[in-house]
Structure 1
Amino acid sequence: MSGAQDFVHLHLHTDFSLLDGACRADKVAKRAVELGMPAVALTDHGNLFGLVPFYDACTKAGVKPILGVEGYVVTKGTRHERGQVRADEDGKTLCHLTMLCENETGYRNLLRMVSDSWLEGYYYKPRMDRQLLAEHHEGLIAMSGCLGGEIPQAILNGRLERAVEVANEFRELFGPDNFFLELQDHNTPEQNQVNAGMMEVHERTGIPLVASNDVHYLTAEDAHAQDLLLCIQTRCLHTDEDRMRMSSQNLFMRSSEEMWRLFGHLPEALLATRAIAERCDVQLERGQYHFPKFPGLPAGLSAGEYLTRLCEERLPRFYGPDRQDARERLRYEIAVIDDKGFSDYYLIVWDLIRWAKEQGIRIGPGRGSGAASIVAYVLGITELDPIRYDLLFERFLNPERPSAPDFDIDIPPERRDEVVAYTIERYGVSQTAKIITFGTLGARQAIKDVGRVLDVPIPEVDALTTLVPEKPGMTLDKALAESPALRAAYEADGTAHTVISNAQRLEGLARHTSIHAAALLIAPDELVNYVPLCTVGGAKGENGKREIVCQYDMHAVEARGLLKMDFLGLRTMTVLEESSRLVAANHDLPDFDIRDVPLDDRATYELISRGDVIGVFQLESGGFQRVCRQIRPDRIEDIVALVALYRPGPMDNIPMYAKRKHGEEPIAYLHPDLEPILAETYGIIVYQEQVMRIARELGGFSLGGADLLRRAMGKKDPVAMQEASDQLINGMTTMGYSEPLARQLVDQITSFASYAFNKAHSAGYALIAYWTAYLKAHYPLEFMAAQLTSQLSDRKEIAKLVGDARNSELTVEPPCVNNGGDRFEVREQAIVYGLSGINGLSTRVAEEIAAERRANGPYQSLYDLFLRVDAKLLAKGAAERLIRAGACRALGDRAPLLGSYEAIWEAARREQQDAASGQQSLFGDLDDEDAADSGLVPTVRPCPEFSRDELRALDLELLGLIVFEDPAAEMRAQLAALDCAEWAVLSDELELLPNGTVVFVAGQFLEHRAIPLNSGGTMGRATLSDPHGTLELLLWNTQQTDYGHLCSGSEVRIIEGKVNRRNPGSPAEVVVSTIQSPAQWQRRRTRPERPAALIEALAAMEAAAAAEAAAGSDD
């Protein structure tokens, strides 16, 4: 028997054979090492999704990666055919074919073929055909495939002559040395039949044999988990008898010894695997950039020369004619940019942003370290003066840094497609594509999916799922360690143990594809010369249903050196754009530009300092509100620091920063030479750039070297951190500083470096925060209307914003067909609720109603409204919603209108139809009032208006909150008297708490209904309102009996209960334990505290938000 080195797996599916392969690339590489195999192949079904991570994992493990695919090849006709696809004599429309890249040419051809199979051949599967194989076979080694191959299928159908014919076709197509007959042994009758047929084909054609195993999972113990994965894919129960299943339990990564036991009688088939592996040699390049050239260069100028000309022309606009420091910095930056070959990149970004601004698209002032570039500033790519904010260009790009620059561009989400379309038009469809992303089986999702296919009752699965802590990066192993309840269920309950243990085997596997929300690739020529493409969308691939994307994810793309533009949809850009429009219109300021407002505005800083920051970018969370009141910023630098400090780690320094700022604690420095570096942050290291300056000024590093040092010290790798620390200590001692000082400073830096914030990124976000705060301080109506419009789809957020507006004594009026429009508008010192905010009313209908009124005047009656707006748009259901929401209140009360609208709508519809057909109106020249008097138009029948409680219920149903009156005015006073802020959980905080958490909530009852139980008695459901929104209450029989009488009226009630969710993903509700009146509460001797879980959740949420904000800064 031969050794491990004499067999290599050439047929293997990772988890990127989605919901079919059950092994991850890193584990494949690790298993290959354990088995002593020198190489291993990747042959996922029809795609190259996992090629780069597979290559990287194998290379890191010292295993040779062989790159390939198991493609789908049509058996008859071409890949272009759709609909009635032709089948061959065996009834097959497509079959499998295994292909491996022998060399770089083969890799390029594989990119092309796999891409074309998706772009041209997709019909349920990405399909190749003989023509495609003939055009792009060079450099590829092909094998006949598994049982799904064309040759095995012919054998299984008793058509040996056809098998021989196909084998000869493939040999002629790929070449006599590049096509092999694949033998597998999975101990099934079908496989035995195919192997016997393969031997006969081999004897008749002389085509060489190769042994393989159709690997879908790593070990035999994983077979059951992979079977569950197939059930997840096909949406079947594991117990379904007629479901799809593998024909064998032996599709694991067999050892060489096992393969030799199976195929020892055919040593040439086993040795062929080693020979093929030795022939296959593809090296994926690293460190080479493939950026496009800027297409708009003037004749005779290089990219560097044109960039220089543009910058020198613009520099005086920003700095005047005599700023030598600015001119010197500009020359330095251009020299670095051009020397590293990124002049075209700057021009490309400049062109895209220039075009967007010309279209009136609001662009963010700068995100990430790119805001530190003066070249970007004078070109208008960013709007932060890097000299004014003391930003370091070397943090973005320097001669010693190997990575490429990367500008992230913030734009309004609703206008992102315009910028993407321009980019595609500018650089060509074949050179641009979006980027794929992969959803994975996370801890909770794995439990949910496994439980479903094992037919575990949904409540039991939900109960298990909720025991998994909701934290970023949570795994089932961590959950079992951190959650005693989950561990107890796992150890005590056979069903829970089965679900969790199987979920652990599937956890982390790729589950589905989607499209990256922001990224767009641009290549210097056809993208398929660099990366594979595919389509994402509907199953059949009809026109317009699928979108072209790159098969490599963003990390793989960056490793390939391609230009990735990130157009990040930032809702605040929409708010700034809409606020500016409203301010210009309402205050006769046609040239109003938020970018021109002074940065030393007292009212703005006072607003921030009192924590009035709901709606203010980055600062609106509860924790940030407290920090704003603590720091009390009075300069833009404070907001920059605040954004940077409010993160895990630096957050601990906030009290020190506040005390030092306000003179309550002396400012101390480890050494006087640190004062010029740390003075702006009162002696505290806040920014990455400060670490770089310390390394330069005290350690003798260049700024480029300091940036590399900063990156190393910020890594989690203890070896890299220690090496960087030693370098800085040596540098400082060489500069004459004492070793104890050096070590003390290094300790301070290393404890902070992994959390340090990019100042340029913080400054960009601080500027947006200031702008939004300025608008709220000076134009609160316009700002809040813009905020509300931007949140039209989020009723909870609208309720929170309306509550804040009312707390600020702003008036919010109900929607009205004769006042306001589709969006939230400002009218006569009030915010008018936008028609598009009515639940179930389409934006198109809302826009048409508003447009018609603006064009032809207010609606005079309900009939006039229905007559003037096309009934095909304003259907009867939409008309009812308008009335129920109070939007027709200018035309009458809700109850009478609802009682009469159907007949009026029908009359108006008939009149529209008559007008469209050219018939004379039944009403001739009668105006609306005369037509009504004539009896030809149905009139509104008088009836009493709805009660106050009924009107409240309608508002809640249609608008998500009460708008026709301010129910919180009286409530706010009552809650303040009860000191609710100290103990009550707010409605918008409830979702942060796990099931079972004991909470106290307070507010007014909006609705209460008793529900009879089959067992006798009643239960209750109620809606409670507080200043931040609404929440649902559940009262079981005892509580309904004891407290049902307290669930009405305008007096505040205090409820004790437990958080509950009926299903994972369902909204949180409170199961009531007790309900008290304010008088009863006041007699309570002790006050509860807000739940510890809430404090932790708020801190985690705020930390996550801060980390997300920092994402653009960690390059």
Structure 2
Amino acid sequence: MYLNVHSQYSLRYGTMSIPALVEEAIACGVTQMVLTDINNSTGIMEFMRECDEKGIKPIAGLEFRKDKRLLYMGIARDREGMKELNDFLTEHNLEQKPLPDVAPAFANAYIVYPYGYSGQLKANEFLGIRFDQLNKLFNAELGELKDKLLALQPVFVADKIDYRLHEYLRGIDLNVVLTEVKTEDKCGRTDMFLPPGQLEAKFARYAFILDNTRNLMNRCVMDYPKGRINLNRRTFTGNKKNDRELLEKLALSGMEYRYGRSDKEALRKVKHELKVISELDFCAYFLITWDIIRYSSSQGYYHVGRGSGANSIVAYCLKITEVDPIELNLYFERFLNAQRTSPPDFDIDYSWDEREDVQDYIFKRYGSQHTALLGTMSTFKDRSIIREIGKVMGLPKSEIDGFTDPTRSRFNRENEAFRKITAIYERMANMPNQRSIHAGGVLITEDPITYYTALDLPPKGMATVQWDMYEAEKIGFDKYDILSQRGIGHIKMAVRLVEENQQRKIDIHQVKAFMKDPGVNANLKLGNTKGCFYIESPAMIQLNRKLACDSYLVLVAASSIIRPGVASSGMMGEYIKNHHAPDKVKYLHPVMEEQLKETYGVMVYQEDVIKVCIHFAGMDGTDADILRRGMSGKYRSKREFERLVERFHELALELGRPEAVIREVWRQVSSFAGYSFSKAHSASFAVESYQSLYLKTYYPREFMVAVLNNYGGFYDRALYVQELQRSGGIVHLPCINNSDSLVNIHGVDVHLGFVGVHGLNENFIELIPEERRLNGAYQSLEDLIRRTGIGLEQAIILIRVGALRFTGKSKKELLWAVHLLLGAKAKPSSSAELFAVEAKNYSLPLLVNTALENAYHELELLGFPLSMTMFDLLQTDYRGDIYANDLINHVGQIVRMVGQYVCEKTVHTKNDQKMWFGNFLDADGNTFDTVHFPNNTPVYPFRGKGCYLIMGKVVAEFGFASVEVLKFAKLPILPNPVIC
């Protein structure tokens, strides 16, 4: 009898999750109900699954609102009706037009208007009347209206306490304090399931209304298939037999390209994989991925294929990936096993500025009705909830800040307002807050996707489903991951810059040659990898140096070892130690030696978890993979996961494994698996790392320019500029006659671009170089103003950053001049002048800018000084007792160093205390690392960018030296002189 039920997916309005909603309905004797969340169908499929499991009849619907005003409810008669409702909402979302006050005609859905609607009702349209409106029917002549009245009892909350939570949600949504939430902005106090029989009692005098309602609901049947079925596009060619034949043809042709004609091992593996792919009905998935790669390659786009699918030799032969499964001895079962119901993951990375075109191709190739981006659901979390609740309560910002400060937790517990916030927080935590867009997931479906969801149009401008990847998987959809990353942009642009600047063409795909290059491997071993994808962070540099990493295979392992799971389990150190002394490895059990000899008994990759579960604990491949996925957060059935954990221990005991060994193996598995990569995934990253490192080794200047122009990587922009200078680049300040919007390079001369100038308007960033290209170099300040129409404020920025130094005038002279030219004008005229009027010349005293003034201008406008170093700005000439390259010779000694701050990383100890890792440059520009233990750093904290005096003990591990900090303090710089 409930036609208008809402879940938490009525965002910042409804309070009950789908399971809670169904449980509450059961408790109130409800046997059928309609889920009608506000302007979305996010929860419909989950609702149907939950109701089917609990024995309630689910009916799907939507509530349509405009400007917070209820227009009407749509109730699907069947699957076709739900599609009609979703299509209707989708049309208005995608075209960004308001919903109409009157619903269109639906063939398979009913419309229910709120009582009071005065329009003409169509055959499938009704009026919903609440029990508190029944008095309006007293002595009324109903006539034809009698058959159109339905009982309307909205459900938004579970009880009175839930209603209070609802009020807070409304306050958060409207961004007002609780007392300013108006009656019309929230639901009624009785908008909940009523106890059994109570709703019928309220309508007892109008039993025909109950009959109408019951009859309508009885006519609704949600004829969706039960359980998970494959809803992805089922064929590529339109015929499964043709799909199989095309995939085989492409794979065998690709095998010849990759391995030659006579490689029997490759042929055996390809044929075995093709058989399994066909049996599991994944041919279309492979072919569609191949088609996406084919298109992007035809456009000249670089890509990196990774994910578990990169374990596949067929994927390698189709050029989806660059990872050779034979060379790496990749574990087939991590990619596919006979029990697998979903295809393997392919994560396809493109340059950040090319991905959107690839997505656009997918939408056009496979049709807008069958293609959509995957959504996500962000939730209320931790501090954000406290802040939101505090604002709704009307608390001052300072008090709210105190509530989010973990150091004040003892005081907060005594605060009544904080206790109230905590009570609300506990009910609101992890509730859905807003819909968003997945990082790169794309769905390609067999049936129109609106059978299952309405579509949103987020800022990205492409149709997006209203649920997330977990719900997609449960319904029966598997995503294609089309991702972007800056690293590919670095590579693509660097190759182009080398061709333009040095007239050399590079085939960046000759990765196997790069892997054997002594110069490239020497830089890898030395940690000279800043700017290179995945191997540039201090932690990765440190790991590679400890491993003395100088080969592809070691780098593949390192790419997974760096993940938090291996490090937190203590197995990173174990791996490094065993790597240097493989003959002294002590294996936990003979099975571990048999399965993990390649990684010295240490679980490094995700497939290692599967191997251990299968061969050590005796689990089957499906359960082992589900266990791995559960640890990585990709499997949401907690009950099933806990059953598999118990099964791991039970089966291992049945096989006679010693209990102590089982406990230690499980400790390693559980602490590691959620944060590891598959081996193929690591190998894909390593391939890209080698491409970057090759460019940095032999074309460092062009490479670093590409890093800067693709908006950097792990480090601040200043560090990449320093890397440019260390590689022999002569870096110049922006100049209106030499700079472009981006950084450019000519020979060894590099001009910073206008993009990096803080405060410079985007219009002038593009206009200044474009006007110069069209009409020649600028002759003077006056010429710049006349040709670009630049105003006073923007002209001052260019003068202060040094962009008009070609004039031979000092900044102060130019500032005088620009104020004389533009000081009295709000904005110069944009109309063309008939005659160029010479500027008046004035006799000025000698105006000179000091080097220190210039450095401060650069700090302000670029974020770093270019004409001086940060060390030059120090008030002291002291540069430390030793430099970075000499650290290894002072192990065990207390030293004093001066370092320029690069970055820091905060970690938590086992006792939940904070400790820090720092990264610094010495005066020669060489890097060194610091460790800050909890007992020291609060006394001597980081204070942002600048140079620090560091006192600490030199320690070394596997030949890598760092400093355990005892004291450190930020050093003062020369004061900013009086500047214009």
* TM norm. shorter chain > 0.5: yes
Cα distance in 2 for partners of 1:563, 1:754 equals 21
Report SS of the residue matched to 1:41: strand
State the partner residue of 1:593. 508
Match of 1:184 among 121, 130, 150: 130
The reply on whether 1:890 has 2:814 as its aligned counterpart is no
The reply on whether 1:862 has 2:781 as its aligned counterpart is yes
State the partner residue of 1:835. 754
Report SS of the residue matched to 1:436: strand
Match of 2:580 among 638, 662, 685: 662
CA 1:118/1:198 → structure 2, altered by over 3 Å: closer, same or farther? farther
The reply on whether 1:499 has 2:403 as its aligned counterpart is no
State the partner residue of 2:973. none
Instruction: Within 5 Å, give how 1:430-445 maps onto structure 2.
Output: 430-445=369-384
> Letter of the aligned partner of 2:408 in structure 1?
A
Deviation for aligned residue 1:814: 1.9
> Letter of the aligned partner of 2:706 in structure 1?
A
CA contact (8 A) 1:825 1:834 kept: yes
Cα distance in 2 for partners of 1:709, 1:502 equals 34
State the partner residue of 2:645. 721
CA contact (8 A) 1:43 1:67 kept: yes
Cα distance in 1 for partners of 2:852, 2:795 equals 22
Give per-residue Cα distances to partners, 1:857-900, cap 9 Å, x unaligned: 65443345445xx425x554433322211122233332222221
> Letter of the aligned partner of 1:885 in structure 2?
V
Cα distance in 1 for partners of 2:430, 2:585 equals 48
> Letter of the aligned partner of 1:184 in structure 2?
R
Deviation for aligned residue 1:819: 3.5
State the partner residue of 1:634. 550
Cα distance in 2 for partners of 1:466, 1:267 equals 58
> Letter of the aligned partner of 2:324 in structure 1?
D
State the partner residue of 2:525. 609
Report SS of the residue matched to 1:45: coil
Cα distance in 1 for partners of 2:15, 2:272 equals 52
Cα distance in 1 for partners of 2:174, 2:546 equals 55
Report SS of the residue matched to 1:405: coil
> Letter of the aligned partner of 1:444 in structure 2?
R
Deviation for aligned residue 1:546: 6.7
CA contact (8 A) 1:442 1:508 kept: yes
State the partner residue of 2:180. 240
CA 1:810/1:63 → structure 2, altered by over 3 Å: closer, same or farther? farther
> Letter of the aligned partner of 1:402 in structure 2?
T
CA 1:905/1:357 → structure 2, altered by over 3 Å: closer, same or farther? farther
CA contact (8 A) 1:367 1:764 kept: yes
> Letter of the aligned partner of 2:124 in structure 1?
L
The reply on whether 1:946 has 2:849 as its aligned counterpart is yes
Deviation for aligned residue 1:413: 1.3
Deviation for aligned residue 1:666: 0.8
- Give the TM-score, by structure 1 length: 0.73
Match of 1:387 among 326, 329, 345: 326
State the partner residue of 2:886. none
The reply on whether 1:681 has 2:681 as its aligned counterpart is no
Report SS of the residue matched to 2:10: coil
Match of 1:173 among 105, 124, 127: 124
Deviation for aligned residue 1:1002: 13
Cα distance in 1 for partners of 2:470, 2:630 equals 20
Report SS of the residue matched to 1:761: helix
Match of 2:231 among 290, 309, 324: 290
Cα distance in 2 for partners of 1:395, 1:184 equals 56
State the partner residue of 2:81. 106
Cα distance in 2 for partners of 1:466, 1:376 equals 50
Deviation for aligned residue 1:509: 2.9
Deviation for aligned residue 1:700: 8.4
Cα distance in 1 for partners of 2:541, 2:381 equals 33
State the partner residue of 2:192. 252
Match of 2:494 among 572, 579, 583: 579
State the partner residue of 1:13. 6
Cα distance in 1 for partners of 2:5, 2:556 equals 51
CA 1:247/1:744 → structure 2, altered by over 3 Å: closer, same or farther? closer
CA contact (8 A) 1:121 1:128 kept: no
Cα distance in 2 for partners of 1:450, 1:712 equals 33
CA contact (8 A) 1:263 1:270 kept: yes
Cα distance in 1 for partners of 2:517, 2:671 equals 36
State the partner residue of 2:960. none
Cα distance in 1 for partners of 2:267, 2:620 equals 21
State the partner residue of 1:224. 164
CA 1:367/1:938 → structure 2, altered by over 3 Å: closer, same or farther? farther
State the partner residue of 1:362. 302
> Letter of the aligned partner of 2:861 in structure 1?
L
CA 1:142/1:819 → structure 2, altered by over 3 Å: closer, same or farther? closer
Deviation for aligned residue 1:44: 1.3
Cα distance in 1 for partners of 2:31, 2:897 equals 64
State the partner residue of 2:479. 564
> Letter of the aligned partner of 1:836 in structure 2?
V
CA 1:937/1:413 → structure 2, altered by over 3 Å: closer, same or farther? farther
Instruction: Within 5 Å, give how 1:94-133 maps onto structure 2.
Output: 96-119=71-94, 122-123=97-98, 126-127=99-100, 129-130=102-103, 132=104
State the partner residue of 1:49. 42
CA contact (8 A) 2:880 2:898 kept: no
CA 1:33/1:622 → structure 2, altered by over 3 Å: closer, same or farther? farther
Cα distance in 2 for partners of 1:569, 1:336 equals 30
> Letter of the aligned partner of 2:40 in structure 1?
N
State the partner residue of 2:977. none
Cα distance in 2 for partners of 1:690, 1:241 equals 55
State the partner residue of 2:116. 153
The reply on whether 1:485 has 2:436 as its aligned counterpart is no
> Letter of the aligned partner of 1:433 in structure 2?
A
CA 1:634/1:672 → structure 2, altered by over 3 Å: closer, same or farther? farther
> Letter of the aligned partner of 1:26 in structure 2?
P
CA 1:95/1:352 → structure 2, altered by over 3 Å: closer, same or farther? same
CA contact (8 A) 1:696 1:703 kept: yes
Instruction: Within 5 Å, give how 1:480-559 maps onto structure 2.
Output: 485-486=408-409, 488-489=411-412, 491-524=413-446, 526-536=448-458, 548-559=463-474
CA 1:608/1:492 → structure 2, altered by over 3 Å: closer, same or farther? same
Cα distance in 1 for partners of 2:832, 2:129 equals 75
CA 1:324/1:967 → structure 2, altered by over 3 Å: closer, same or farther? same
CA 1:750/1:327 → structure 2, altered by over 3 Å: closer, same or farther? same
> Letter of the aligned partner of 2:755 in structure 1?
S
Report SS of the residue matched to 1:207: helix
Deviation for aligned residue 1:913: 3.7
What is the RMSD of the two structures over their aligned residues, measured on CA atoms? 4.6
Deviation for aligned residue 1:574: 1.0
Structure 2 unaligned regions, length at least 5: 883-893, 929-936, 954-962, 969-980
Instruction: Within 5 Å, give how 1:246-395 maps onto structure 2.
Output: 246=186, 248-256=188-196, 258-259=198-199, 262-263=202-203, 280-282=220-222, 284-285=224-225, 286-292=227-233, 302-364=242-304, 366-395=305-334
Cα distance in 1 for partners of 2:470, 2:593 equals 40
Deviation for aligned residue 1:116: 3.9
CA contact (8 A) 1:231 1:238 kept: yes
CA contact (8 A) 1:25 1:54 kept: yes
CA 1:698/1:54 → structure 2, altered by over 3 Å: closer, same or farther? closer
Give per-residue Cα distances to partners, 1:906-964, cap 9 Å, x unaligned: 9999998446xxx4x447xxxxxxxxxxx567689674222333222211221111112
Structure 1 unaligned regions, length at least 5: 1-7, 74-91, 155-161, 186-190, 468-483, 538-544, 924-934, 1005-1025, 1030-1053, 1060-1067, 1092-1115
CA 1:40/1:951 → structure 2, altered by over 3 Å: closer, same or farther? same
Deviation for aligned residue 1:767: 2.1
State the partner residue of 2:106. 135
Greater shift in the superposed pair: 858-867 or 436-445? 858-867
Cα distance in 2 for partners of 1:500, 1:698 equals 45
Deviation for aligned residue 1:212: 4.5
State the partner residue of 1:1107. none
Cα distance in 2 for partners of 1:940, 1:16 equals 72
Cα distance in 2 for partners of 1:506, 1:203 equals 47
Match of 2:695 among 772, 775, 787: 775
State the partner residue of 2:735. 816
Cα distance in 2 for partners of 1:49, 1:493 equals 38
Cα distance in 2 for partners of 1:738, 1:1000 equals 39
